[in-house]
Amino acid sequence: MLGALHEVAGTGPDMEHAAAAALFVAGCLARLPGTVLWVLERSDLFAPGLAAVGLHPARVLYAEAGKAATVLLVMEEGLREAGLAGVVGEVSGRLTLTASRRLQLAAERSGVTAFAIRRPRRHDDSTLLEPCAAVTRWQVASLPSGPPLPAAPDVPGLARARWRLELVRCRGGEAASWVVEACDAQGRLGVVPDLADRQAAPGPRRASA
Amino acid sequence: MWFPTLPTDRLRRGPGAPPPEMPLVTRALDGGRQVVASADQAALSLGLAPGLSLAEARARVPELRVHEADPEGDAAALRHLATWASRYAPLVAPDPPDGLLLDMTGGTHLHGGEAALLDDLLERLGRSGLTVRAAMASTIGVAHALARFGPADREVVAPGDEVSRLADLSPSALRIAPDIVRGLLVLGFETVGQLMRVPRAPLARRFGPELLARLDAALGRRFEPLEPWFAPEAIQHRLAFVEPLLTATALGIALDRLLSIVCPALEAAGMGARTVDALFERVDATVQAVRIGTARPSRDPGHLGRMLRDRLERVEPGFGIEAVRLVVRVAEPLAWSQAAAVPGEAPVLDVSALVDRLGNWLGSDRVFRAVPVESRVPERSFRRAPPLWSAPNLSWPEALPRPVRLITPPQPVEAIAALPDRPPAAFTWRRVRRRIRHADGPERVTGEWWRREAEMRAVRDYWAVEDEEGRRYWLFRRGDGEDPATGDLGWFLHGLF
């Protein structure tokens, strides 16, 4: 859904770094046209990694906020700028109901899509359970990937990564879960081949998120 | 800032200047006597100090070149420098005969900090052939003293260090009359520190109020205002109030009124502002300054007003503000722009307004783009570029796996791997052991020997690995596994996918 706030988090030990979550968001934005404002608290984001899922460096504008509270303010400032493809904020602290509602309202008004990547220090952080005005909440978990060449399982190498995408909460919709192949060089997700042969797995329609 | 050899530096820049190794002095009339008014570095090193009689100087150095002194020209040059320096600081005042005073408050964020600003300032002046020394401190007195008598040609004094930095200098650093300095030397006062330790009353009785006033001003006990200098051609407007203003709302309205005068003036001149200062004159004669910078020339009152208002919270009104002045310090030509786009044409997004707002708020170096750099070492493969940079076709090679999170510095992990080129079977990071199921590599990265001697032989072998839960990591081993000179075989975690 464009023009709305989405919350994305990792799982387990990946909660703090939210690497898969960042790739998922970058892949979503790679397929929207325009400039992306990426608001960092500290700079551990590696731009070549974003380029690998199709988010070209010329399209990303970074803002290093330094403090968790400033990240939210900078995000809101960015969301007022109609015409951006999206605003991404890396939120390590709390995202209160008030703060998230402000972001959601700003996103609705300008039509810019907002992603809050939740990066709590601990993976069982209780602040994640607080109510939030985001339209959707996603959880991106890594799953073991298959062999790089299904016909020859002994060949070493890495296949495309595999994620469990969980739509934990969705306003006006139902929670759901998909197993997908991670974003490719154009930012597209893939249907896992061994599932595709079986019963129709619900194709994750990324245009809707 | 101090220009010790300003008159001769000016002559050297002019036509027909003598070569730099030839001593050059200017002469002036002191009573009925011809004396040396100023001397350049070559002349100073030969012992020709200002004040020496010209006949004696000529006798000592026969090949001496002498020019007529030009105090008016020097003063004009100083004003010229003040206008130029106003790009660095909102409040600039010439300090005749050979100094400049800059109040940096509220302007350093646009130049990457105080030390970087000073380096940039001195480098630019040095390139134009001027000898210059500068110091930055919380009071005019300390900065003035250290620029002239300090050990280095540039210095930034941390707040709180003023007393200790001033204590070692001679009393002549205090901007007092020469006969007071002589009197102090007769009494055995060789440093300012000795002056600070003795009772004040006898000093005041013997030398008058000037000495203590200068000392107090240097130590910040007495306020010393700066008379700001404005270039006559700068677009500016001043608004004075009958009643002093105290609230941010009132100041915001005043700014809007000023902008409604200044912006049309910019438009008439065909210019757009790059740097704008708002100077708030308080009833106690201090001036508080707020400076904003834009990434592109702008004369949009809404945009400029919003940026100025974002910084209003830094203004302390004190007992009230009796006048506000808005000065356009740096302006650039800005062509007429069409208000509405041609119907049917997609509007081009201009992020410069957003960039300006965020840059003024976070600091201009905190808003950036990541630009690819051709480098073998992954952490050097991008640099921060100004936000309006664009080179749409530049990216990183797609075939190499690169993580989305880079761990800086790389964290050492315990890993076991067969030499020389097998991936690790497992590694321990944060006390958790992770068994590796799939691995891709090695990607060999050799050191950039042209940067550092230590990288001459250094080799890193990178592996992208996946553990049993499907998480992916970017590990490297120092060394190629065969030659011990290339690394000590330690394993490191450098990134997460």
CATH code, domain with B308 = 3.30.1490.100
**Spatial distance between the Cα atoms of A182 and A176, rounded to a whole number of angstroms:** 17
Nearest to B472 among A65, A77, A161 (CB): A161
| Nearest chain A residue to B439, by CA | A157
> To the nearest whole angstrom, how far is the Cα of A172 from the nearest Cα of chain B?
32
With 0-12 / 13-18 / 19 or more C-beta atoms within 10 angstroms meaning exposed / middle / buried, residue B434 is buried
> To the nearest whole angstrom, how far is the Cα of B440 from the nearest Cα of chain A?
5
Angle at B486 between CA B485 and CA B491, to 5 degrees: 120
Query: Which run of H or E residues covers position B291?
Result: strand B287-298
Residue B10 lies in a domain: no
Residue B99 lies in a domain: no
Nearest to B472 among A35, A47, A142 (CB): A142
Q: Which one of B298, B333, B368 terminates a domain?
A: B333
For residue B20, what pLDDT is reported? 66
Residue A69 lies in a domain: yes
> To the nearest whole angstrom, how far is the Cα of A73 from the nearest Cα of chain B?
10
In chain B, residues with a C-beta closer than 8 Å to the C-beta of A74 are 358, 361-362
For residue A86, what pLDDT is reported? 92
| Nearest chain A residue to B468, by CA | A144
Nearest CA to B46 out of B34, B63, B32 is that of B63
Measure Cα distances from A35 to A22, B13, B176 in Å.
17, 48, 59
A61 touches chain B (CB under 8 A): yes
**Spatial distance between the Cα atoms of B295 and B289, rounded to a whole number of angstroms:** 20
Number of domains chain A is built from: 1
> To the nearest whole angstrom, how far is the Cα of A92 from the nearest Cα of chain B?
15
**Spatial distance between the Cα atoms of A203 and A200, rounded to a whole number of angstroms:** 8
Residue B158 lies in a domain: no
Nearest to A46 among B392, B402, B437 (CB): B402
Residue A177: give its domain's CATH number.
3.40.50.300
> To the nearest whole angstrom, how far is the Cα of B398 from the nearest Cα of chain A?
6
Structure confidence by residue, pLDDT tens digits, B55-93: 888 888 777 778 778 878 888 888 888 888 877 777 788
A16 touches chain B (CB under 8 A): no
Structure confidence by residue, pLDDT tens digits, A74-125: 999 899 888 888 999 999 888 889 999 999 999 999 999 999 999 988 877 7
Residue A151 lies in a domain: no
Residue B166 clears pLDDT 90, i.e. is over it: no
Between chains, do A65 and B362 touch, taking CB under 8 Å as contact? yes
> To the nearest whole angstrom, how far is the Cα of B471 from the nearest Cα of chain A?
5
Residue B132 clears pLDDT 60, i.e. is over it: yes
Q: Which one of B333, B357, B389 terminates a domain?
A: B333
Looking at the DSSP bridge assignments, the partners of residue B463 are B475
With helix as H, strand as E and coil as C, how does B373-442 read? CCCCCHHHCEEEECCCCCCCCCCCCCCCCCCCEEEEEEEEEEEECCCCCCCCCEEEECCEEEEEEEEEEE
Nearest CA to B487 out of B460, B450, B451 is that of B460
With 0-12 / 13-18 / 19 or more C-beta atoms within 10 angstroms meaning exposed / middle / buried, residue B455 is middle
For residue B106, what pLDDT is reported? 63
Residue B383 clears pLDDT 80, i.e. is over it: yes
Instruction: For A120-184, give the DSSP string.
Output: -SSTT-GGGGS----SEEEEEEEE----SSTT-TTS-S----EEEEEEEEETTS--EEEEEEPP-
| Start-to-end Cα distance in chain A | 5
| DSSP helix/strand/coil, B243 | strand
Q: pLDDT higher for B413 or B222?
A: B413
Interacting residues of B416 by C-beta distance below 8 A, sequence separation 6+ = B424, B425, B426, B427
Which residues in chain B (391-420) have CB-CB distances under 8 A to chain A? 391-392, 394-396, 398, 400-408
Least confident window among B227-241, B326-340, B361-375, B384-398: B326-340
Q: Give me the domain span that covers residue B267.
A: 240-333
Between chains, do B354 and A77 touch, taking CB under 8 Å as contact? yes
Mean pLDDT, range B320-340, rounded to an integer: 74
Segments of chain A scoring below 70 in pLDDT: 193-209
Token duo for residue B415: 């890993």
Between chains, do B367 and A70 touch, taking CB under 8 Å as contact? no
Q: Which one of B295, B314, B333 terminates a domain?
A: B333
Residue B424 lies in a domain: yes
Which site among B371, B471, B474 would you substitute to test the A interface, given the most A Cβ atoms closer than 10 Å to its Cβ? B471
Residue B168 lies in a domain: no
**Spatial distance between the Cα atoms of B139 and B218, rounded to a whole number of angstroms:** 6
Mean pLDDT, range B366-391, rounded to an integer: 82
**Spatial distance between the Cα atoms of A81 and A63, rounded to a whole number of angstroms:** 15
| Nearest chain B residue to A146, by CA | B438
Structure confidence by residue, pLDDT tens digits, B198-230: 888 888 888 888 888 888 888 777 777 777 777
For residue B345, what pLDDT is reported? 41
Number of domains chain B is built from: 2
Q: Give me the domain span that covers residue A203.
A: 5-146+156-208
Q: Phi first, then psi: what are they for B440, rounded to 5°?
A: -130, 125
